[in-house]
Each structure stands twice: as C-alpha cells, then as structure tokens.
Amino acid sequence: MCLMSGSLLFYLMGILMQIKYAQGGANLYIRWTSFPGATNYILDLRVINSTTVTPIVLDLTATTTEKLVQGLRSGTLYQVTLKVYQFYYVMCISSEVALTVPAASQITFAKSISSTSVGFQWAKASGADGYVLVVAGITNSSDYRNLTVTSLSAVVTSLQPSTSYSCYIYSYNSVGMSAKGAVKTVTTLVPPPAVVNTTGLNLTAVRASWPSVANVLFYQVSLTDSSQPGLAPVIWTTSAMSLIISNLKACTSYTISVSSLNSFLVPGEPFNITYTTSPTGSVTTISADYSCSSNTATVYWDAVLGAVSYRAVVTSTNRTSLTCTSTGSSCQVTALGCSTHYSVEVTVVSNCEVNSSISYTFDT
C-alpha cells in the first residue's frame, strides 16, 4: 500500500491526480491517470473537522479517470481521498485538502444616489473573503465597471447620467469565484441644470432662473435658511425654468437648490447657489408727542420693508436713555423728566440692525 499527499498536483505509484475548482458553484473536478490492474476506484470527500456532515463516497469503475463532484458545501474545506482497489485489496491511497468556492451573494439594495453614482448593499456569503461588484451599461457594453471590496456595501461613481445598468455580484475566496448573483437593473438620476442665476427683486424677493435640461419636465427648487440649518427647507416643484421666491428675511443668507426630476419624480443632485438679502432701509421720518400730565412721549416713524421690529431710544442731554420697542410704527416712552431736552433715534431690527440716519428732538 502507498500513501502520499502534498500539492494539488502530485504523482503516486504511477497515478497522476489533479483537483480543479469547477466554475458555477461549489464543485470539484477531479482527474487521475489509470492505475494498472485496478478493478475500481473509491473517491471519498469529507468535510474537515465535522462529524455531522455525511461524507460523499463514490464507487467508480476501472475505466473512470475523472469525476465532477457537484453540490458540495460552499467555502468549505474537504479531505479528498482516492483509493485504488484491486478486487478487495487497497493498492494505493492518495489524499489532499481542497477548498470549495464561496456561496453566491445577492444584491439586496441598489439605489441611485446622483446622476453619476449608485449605492449598493449585498448579503454576506458563506466562505467568502471578498466580493466583486459588476456594473455594466445595458445599451453600451464599453460602459463597464467592476469593484473589488471586502465589505458588504459600496458606492460606484463616474457613471453616465440617466443611464440604465445591469448590476450583479460575485463572491470569492483563495480558490476562485462563486456563481454569478441575480441581476438587478438600476438607472442613474437626471443631472441638475448647468447653472442657476439669481436676480434680486426687492428686499424680500428674488428670481431664480436656470437653463433647461434635456428630457426633463419638472424641476424641484428648495430654499434653506443658512442661519437655521436644522430647519426643513421650503420646496417647490415647477415645470418652468424660473421661480420667484418671496417672503425672505432681510440681511439673511439662503441656499437655493435646483434639481431635475426623473419620470418617477425623484430628484437628482442639486445645483446650489447662495443668495444673501440686503439689509433693510432706515426710517426716514420721526416725530414725537409729549404728554406733560403723564410724563410720557409717543414716538412715531414710517414703516420699513423687511423690518421685524423697531426700537426707539430717547436720550436726554445728561445722556440718560429710555427705550421702547414695537412691531408697528409707534411706541410710548414713560418716566420722562420735566424741563428736559430729548433726542430720539429709531433702529430697524431684522437679522441685522439699521440705525436711523436722522433724529428728532423735543423738550418737556
């Protein structure tokens, strides 16, 4: 009896045996040279370090010199043993360890992130050391990407806008790749307009305009207050190539974003532009009515577009100041002294403050 083991390709008493890893699943293709005088061969495959998995034992005729063994466990180490029989006697035994390819993985999530990128997730495959993700253009065979990773997710970039791709995945280990996973089709999103222009109409309104995008029927416009990033944006959908945005706050920076919508009304990545509104103007007229009996003065001024509120400051000649505030165009100051000269200034309050360029004086 002879017994020898070593590499996958070895020579034993005139027997040359070779183990190959057949594509298409956890299969092993085993081939050997004929042994003179053999009456049959026994091919035995057992999972290493397992007593619960039933071994595969094949009784093969003397004329058989190759065997494709299918249906093995994926990503599993097997002890492969070939026994040469001459009637009831074992003439030679050769043994080798062989690893099967991993199980096939499947894409579980595929979604366009932008007009040029798609995000993927896939299931963990038994026995896999890593994965090869394939993204192939359906109408253009040269538009092909493959990405080798060890994680269970990836983002493929530099794709073509508004293009459909066939996507599938292979798992691999040290001996080869699994069968091909199921194909998923994903289409990249529509690109945004090439540019967005803004034209201020007044302190509280702006027109945003953009050039058309081919085959786009609707656009999504969003407005975000840069000073309040946690606040949800205001969103509009329009088929036009311009939009007037009103009710803006003075002296405020906004982000205006324009995206193209696809046929499922899903927006692609936006073109962003920052627009800052101007400060409010100052009041142009100030007056005051003094009541001697109550020692109060009512201050009046003209309304200013974009103002949130107003603050009137009454200052005496000895620099004593009294203040009143209002969201309207007047407020009352109390506890004024008698026989005193006062000056009045009015500040417009918004996101920034603008002091009046004029003042008003009166005597008590």
Quick one: average pLDDT of 314-325?
87
Rounded to whole angstroms, the Cα distance separating 229 from 246 reads 19
Domain 2-99, what fold?
Immunoglobulin-like (2.60.40)
Q: Is the pTM of this model over 0.75?
A: no
Pick the CATH number of 286-363 from 2.60.40.10, 3.90.25.10, 3.10.20.30, 2.30.30.50: 2.60.40.10
Indicate the range of 40-44, 148-152, 282-286, 353-357 predicted with least confidence: 353-357
Percentage with pLDDT > 70 across the chain: 93
Q: Of 249, 200, 192, give the one whose Cα is nearest residue 226.
A: 249
Look at residue 357 in the predicted model and tell me its pLDDT: 62
Written as six digits, the tokens of 107 are: 């894409």
Q: Of 299, 297, 309, 317, give the one whose Cα is nearest residue 348.
A: 309
CB 257 within 8 A of CB 274: no
Rounded to whole angstroms, the Cα distance separating 301 from 326 reads 11
CB 294 within 8 A of CB 218: no
Q: Of 219, 197, 223, give the one whose Cα is nearest residue 210.
A: 197
- Residue 117 burial (10 A CB sphere; 0-12, 13-18, 19+): middle
CB 131 within 8 A of CB 122: yes
Rounded to whole angstroms, the Cα distance separating 311 from 19 reads 90
Q: Of 208, 203, 207, 305, give the one whose Cα is nearest residue 252.
A: 203
Task: Give the pLDDT confidence of 177-197 residue by residue, as tens digits.
Answer: 999 999 999 999 999 999 999
Look at residue 363 in the predicted model and tell me its pLDDT: 75
Q: Of 57, 24, 75, 40, give the one whose Cα is nearest residue 32.
A: 40
Indicate the range of 117-126, 130-139, 267-276, 280-289 predicted with least confidence: 280-289
Look at residue 209 in the predicted model and tell me its pLDDT: 98
Give the residue extent of every domain in the chain: 2-99, 107-187, 197-276, 286-363
User: Judging by DSSP bridges, how do beta strands 2-4 and 89-99 pair with one another?
Assistant: parallel
Side-chain half-sphere CA neighbours of 126 within 13 A = 11
The answer to whether domain 107-187 and domain 286-363 are alike in fold is yes
Q: Which amino acid is at 166?
A: S
Written as six digits, the tokens of 354 are: 């603008």
**DSSP for 209-257?**
E----TT---EEEEEEETT-TTSPPEEEEESSSEEEE--PPTT-EEEEE
Q: Which amino acid is at 7?
A: S
Task: Give the pLDDT confidence of 19-41 residue by residue, as tens digits.
Answer: 787 766 788 999 988 888 899 99
Cα–Cα–Cα angle for 1, 82, 19, rounded to 5 degrees = 135
Which residues, 6 or more positions from 54, have their beta carbon under 8 angstroms from its beta carbon?
none
Pick the CATH number of 107-187 from 3.50.50.60, 3.40.640.10, 2.60.40.10, 3.60.20.10: 2.60.40.10
Side-chain half-sphere CA neighbours of 300 within 13 A = 4
| Superfamily in which the 197-276 domain is placed by CATH | Immunoglobulins (2.60.40.10)
Rounded to whole angstroms, the Cα distance separating 112 from 320 reads 65
Task: Give the pLDDT confidence of 44-75 residue by residue, as tens digits.
Answer: 999 999 889 999 999 999 999 999 999 899 99
CB 263 within 8 A of CB 287: no
Three-class SS state of 108? strand
CB 59 within 8 A of CB 88: no
Quick one: average pLDDT of 143-159?
96
For 161-177, give one letter per residue: b (16+ CB within 10 A) or e: bbbebebbbbbbbebeb
3-state percent breakdown (helix, strand, coil) of the chain, nearest 5: 0, 55, 45
